[in-house]
Structure 1
Amino acid sequence: MPVRPRAATSGPLRMPEFRLLLTGAAAGLFGSQVTLVALPLVAVLQLNAPAFQVGLLTAAETAAFLLVGLPAGAWVDRMRKLPLLIRADVVRAVAMASIPLAAVAGVLTMAQLYVVALVTGVATVFFDVAHQSFVPQLLPKEQLVAGNGALETVRSSAQVAGPGLGGGLVQLLGAPLAIVADACGYALSALFLWRIKRPESLPERLPGASLRKEVGEGLRFVFGHRLLRVIALATGLANLFSAMLMATQSVFLVRELGLAPAAVGLVLSAAALGGLAGALCAGPLAARLGRARIIWLSALVTGPFAVLWPLSGRGAGASLFALGSGVVFFGAVVYNVAQVSFRQTVCPPGLLGRMNATLRFVMWGALPLGALVGGALADAYGARAALVWCAAGFLAVPLPLLLSPLRRMRELPPVDGELGAADEEPDEDADDGAGAGAGQQVEAAGRG
C-alpha cells in the first residue's frame, strides 16, 4: 500500500510531493491554454479551414474519451499512477512539437492536426484518469477539497493568462509556432512529476479479474449510485454545449466580430477569470450554502448568462461575449469543485480509476458530439445561430439536478468508503462537519 501523507493538520501545500504535482500541473496547463487559442487559429488562419473542419478538429481532441474512456479506467487501476502520468506528458509533448516542425518545413495539413489531436486526446484520457486517482494517494480525505482547490486555482490562473498569452504569441510568431509553448509545458510537467519520489506499489490483481469484468464494476458503481447518476447526466449536458461553444467561438470571434488573434485571446481569458473567481469562492460558498445545494445552485444561477454569447457584436459588443463566458465558467468551476471532491470521497480506492473513467466516458464523451454538432450548425446557419442553440442548452443543464434528491439536500450524504454507502437518506439540513473542509481553498477538475 502507498505511504500515507503526514498529519492531516498541515495543509496540502506544506507537502513537497503535492507542491511538485501542483507545479507540474501549472506547467502543463499554461501550455495547453495557449493551444486552446492557437490550434483552432492554425486551422482558421493558416489552413483556411471551414467551420465544420474546425468543429471536427475539436471533436478529434476529445474523441478519445469515447474510444478508450471505459477501458482506460480499468487499465489505470492495474498500473502505478505516477509513471503513467509522466509517460502521458512525454507523448503529448512530442505530438505537439510536430506541428511547428511541420509548419516550418511547409508540410502542415489538416490531416496532421487531426492526428495530433487524437494522439494527445488519448494521452490526456490516461493522464486525467490517473491524475484524479493519484491525488487521493497523496492527500487524506479531509484535505481533498483543499488540494483540489489548489489545483483548480492553478488551472484557473492558467486559463486567465494562457489565452491572452496564446493570442499574443499567435500574433507575434504565427499560430503554428505558438504551439511550441504547449510542447514545452508538457515536457516541464513530466520533469516535475519525475521528481516525486513517493513509493507506489503495483495494485493487486484479484483472481479471475478481466478487463470486461473490471469495466463492468466501474459502470455498476456509477450507475448504481443515485447521486453519481444525476451528476453524470448534468455534466454530460454541460459538456455537450461547452463543446459546441469551443467548436464555434474562434470562427465567431474572428469572422463575425472581426477580432485580431490577440483580442481573441483576451476575450477567451474572461472565461478563465470567472473560473479563477469560482475556484477562490467555491469553498466558502459550499460552507455557507451546503455542499449539495451549491451543485445545483451554481448551474441554475450562472447558466442564463450564456444568452450573452449570441447577443454580442463588433467593437464594444464583444464585451458581452466576455461577460457571458466569465459568469458561466464561474458557475462551472464552483460546480466542479463540489462534485469532483464528492466523487473522490465516495469511491473505494481500488475503484477510483474505473469510477473516474466511467464518469469521464459519459461526461467527456459528449464533447466530440457537441463539437461536431456545433461545427455543422455553424457551417449551415452561421456561428451566431450555433451559439443560440448553445445558450439554450445551458439553460437546460440544471434540470436533471433540480429533479433529483440533491434539490432537497443541504449537505452531501455521509460516506464510509464502502460501495453504496452514500445512498442512505441524509438529514436534509444536517451539517456533518464536512463544511469546514469545504471552506478551505478549493479546486476543480476542468470539465469534470
Structure 2
Amino acid sequence: MLRHPVLRRLLPGFALSYVGEGMGLLAVSWLAIQLAPQANAGVWVAAAVAAYTLPGALGTVLFARVLSGRSGAQLAAWDAVVRAVMLGAIPVVHLAGALDISWYTVLLGLSSLLRSWGSAGRFTLIAELLPAEHRLAGNALIGLFSEASTLVGPALAALLIAAGGPVLVIAVAAATFAVLAVSYLLAVPRTARAPIEERRGSSLAGFTAIWRDRRLLGLSALTFGFFFLYGPVQVALPIHVAEALDNSAGTLAAFWTAFGVGAIIGGFAAGYLRRWRLWPTTIAIVLGWGAALLPLGVGAPIGVALVAIAIGGLIWAPYPATTMALLQRSTDGAARAPVLAAYAAITTLSVPLGTIAAGPLITGVGAEATILAAAVLTVAFGVIAAAVAISRAVRVRSAYDLADVETPGKESVRQLDPEPLP
C-alpha cells in the first residue's frame, strides 16, 4: 500500500475520511438528542443512529442494476460524493433555520444509501491494484484506519462540540468525505476508474452469487453470526459497568480504550499474516474473541476484565482483513463488487439486529449473564464452524487421494486448491 503509486496517494484521503467517520459516531447521536422532542426522544435518537448505517443495506439492492460492472474506484468515489453532499446539507439546513429531527433523519439516511457499495469499492480497488499476496496487508491497513478512528474521532468530536456544537462536527465530517472524493478523482488513473464492463446485473446479483457458492455462503453465515453476537456486548457492557462494577463513566471509557488499543495492535499484526491459512485463522478469531469475553461474563475483577477485553480487541482486529481476503480470492471481474456489497449489507444488518435482541435478554437475565451468553454462543459458533471446515477438508482430501490414485503420473490436483474452503 505504501509503495503502490496509486494507493499511497489515496492513503491521506482514507485516513481523513475515517477520522470523519469516527467523529460522526459521537456527533450523530448528540445532535439527535438536541433535536428530538423530549416526549419520545429515545425513539428519534435510535432512528437517527440507525439511519446513519442501515439504509446502506437497502442501497445494495436498489442500485445494483446501475452499479454492477463499475470499477472499485467509481463505487468508492460515488459513495464519498453522496456522503459529502448529504452530510454537508445538514449544516446548510441548520443555518437556514429549518433543521428538525425528521429532516435530520432523512438526510442521514440519504447519506448512507451507498455505504455498502463504498465499502465494496474500497476493497475491490485493492483487489484490482494489488497482487493476491499483498491484499491481506492492504485490507489490514484499511482496517487499521477504521480501528484508529474509533479512538481519535470521538475525542476530536468532543473538542469540536465544546467549541461549536455537533453541527460543526458534521460539517467537518462532510468535508473529509469531499476530500476523499477528490482524492479518487486525482489519484486514480482514468483507466482504473473506467467500468469493468457495461453489463448490468440483477438487483440481487450479489446475494444470489453468495447463495449459490458454498464458500461464500459459509463465510457470510460465519460473519453474520459473529457480528450478531457482538451486538449484545455493545449494549450489555455499559449496563454491566453501571450495575456490577463501579458505575463510573471512566471505567466504561477504560474498557473501550483497552479494546481499541488491542485492536490497533491487532490491525498492525493482521498485515503480516499472509503466510497463515486464512480459513483456520478466521475461525480461530471467532473462538478467541468468545474466549476473551468469558472473564467479563463470569464477574472477573476490573483489572482482569480490562486485560481480557484488550486481548479480545487484539484477536478481533484481523477478522475484517482475513474475511475480505477470502472474498477477494473467491471473486473476480465484474462479479466482485456486487458480492462485496452484498456482504457489506449482511454485516451492516447483523450488529443492529444483535443489539435489538440484547434488550429483552438483558431485561430477563441481566447484563453480566448476557455477556456470558454471548461469549458461550460465540465459542460454540466457532466450534461448529471448525467442525464444518474439518469435515469439508477431510472430504476434499479423500477426493484428492482418489484422484491421485486414478491419475498416476499427472500433476496432483492438490496443487490446484492449496486451502479448500468449507
Scaled by the length of structure 1, the TM-score of the pair is 0.73
Q: Tell me how far 1:18 sits from its aligned partner.
A: 0.5
Q: Rate the CA distance shift 1:20–1:242 in 2: closer, same or farther, 3 A.
A: farther
Structure 2 residue aligned with 1:160:
151
How far residue 53 of structure 1 moved from its aligned partner, in angstroms, is 4.8
Partner of 1:355: 339
Give the 3 Å change call, closer, same or farther, for CA 82–390 of structure 1 in structure 2: same
Structure 2: state its 5+ residue gaps: 398-411
Aligned counterpart in structure 2 of residue 228 of structure 1, from 207, 216, 238: 216
Instruction: Indicate whether 1:404 and 2:388 are aligned.
Output: yes
What's the offset of the Cα at 1:254?
9.0
Counterpart secondary structure, 1:211: coil
The Cα shift of 1:340 comes to: 0.8
- Give how far 1:174 is off: 4.1
* Distance verdict in 2 for CA 1:121–1:83, change over 3 Å: same
Letter paired with 2:77: I
Residue matched to 1:201: 194
Higher relative contact order (CA 8 A, sep 6+): 1
Structure 1 residues 194 and 255 mapped into 2: Cα distance closer, same or farther (>3 Å)? farther
Q: Which residue does the alignment assign to 1:417? A: none
Spell out, residue by residue over 1:245-281, the C-alpha distance to the aligned partner (whole angstroms, 9 max, x if none). 5567678879997666x98766534333222111222
Kindly indicate whether residue 228 of structure 2 is the aligned counterpart of residue 240 of structure 1: yes
Change (3 A) 1:136 1:87: same
- Return the letter of the residue paired with 2:261: L
CA–CA distance in 1 between the matches of 2:333 and 2:66?
A: 15
Following the alignment from structure 2 to structure 1, what is the Cα–Cα distance between the partners of residues 362 and 330? 41
Deviates more, 1:158-167 or 1:352-361: 158-167
8 Å contact from structure 2 (residues 290, 379) kept in 1:
yes
For structure 1, list consecutive stretches of 5 or more residues without a partner in the other structure: 1-11, 414-423, 433-448
> How far apart are 1:230 and its partner, in Å?
1.7
Distance in 2 (alpha carbons) for counterparts of 1:57 and 1:237: 25
More displaced stretch, 222-231 vs 385-394: 385-394
| Structure 2 residue 27 is matched with structure 1 residue 34 | no
Q: Which amino acid aligns with 1:39?
A: V
**Which structure: greater helix fraction?**
2
The one-letter code sitting in structure 2 at the alignment partner of 1:35 is: G
Equivalent residue of 2:145, what SS?
helix
**Residues 328 and 104 from structure 1, CA distance in 2 versus in 1: closer, same or farther, beyond 3 angstroms?**
farther
1:430/1:136 CA distance change after superposition, 3 Å: closer
Answer yes or no: is 1:85 the counterpart of 2:76.
yes
Maintained 8 Å contact 1:275/1:333:
yes
Task: Note if 1:302 corresponds to 2:289.
Answer: yes
| Cα offset, 1:92, TM superposition | 1.1
1 CA distance for matches of 2:229 and 2:167?
A: 27
Q: In structure 2, which of residues 146, 170, 178 is the aligned counterpart of residue 179 of structure 1?
A: 170
Write the distance in 2 (CA, Å) between the matches of 1:19 and 1:380.
Answer: 51
Q: Are the equivalent residues in 2 in contact too, given 1:28–1:185 (CA < 8 A)? A: yes
Task: Report the AA paired with residue 274 of structure 1.
Answer: G
Counterpart-to-counterpart distance in 2, 1:221 and 1:241: 25
> Which residue does 2:7 correspond to in 1?
18
Other-structure match for 1:370: 354
Is this contact kept in 2: 1:44–1:50, CA < 8 A?
yes
- Structure 1 residues 146 and 251: alpha-carbon distance in aligned structure 2, compared to 1, 3 A threshold: same
Match of 1:69 in 2: 60
Correspondence 1:270 to 2:258: yes
Q: Secondary structure at the match of 1:370?
A: helix
Q: Distance in 2 between matches of 1:116 and 1:219?
A: 27
What is the Cα deviation at residue 237 of structure 1?
Answer: 1.4
From the superposition, tell whether residues 281 and 81 of structure 1 become closer, same or farther in structure 2 (CA, over 3 Å). closer
Pick the aligned partner of 1:211 from 195, 199, 202. 202
Counterpart-to-counterpart distance in 2, 1:240 and 1:204: 35
Q: CA RMSD in A?
A: 4.2
In structure 1, C-alpha distance between the alignment counterparts of 2:231 and 2:79, rounded to whole Å? 23
- Matches of 1:106 and 1:243, distance apart in 2: 36
The answer to whether the Cα contact below 8 Å between 2:231 and 2:351 also exists between their aligned partners in 1 is yes
CA contact (8 A) 2:72 2:120 kept: no
Change (3 A) 1:83 1:362: closer
* C-alpha distance in structure 1 between counterparts of 2:251 and 2:34, whole Å: 15
- Structure 1 residues 393 and 379: alpha-carbon distance in aligned structure 2, compared to 1, 3 A threshold: same
Return the TM-score normalized by structure 2.
0.77
CA shift at 1:126, angstroms? 2.2
Q: How many residues align?
A: 400
Whether the 8 Å CA contact 1:31–1:181 is kept in 2: the answer is yes
Secondary structure class of the residue paired with 2:187: coil
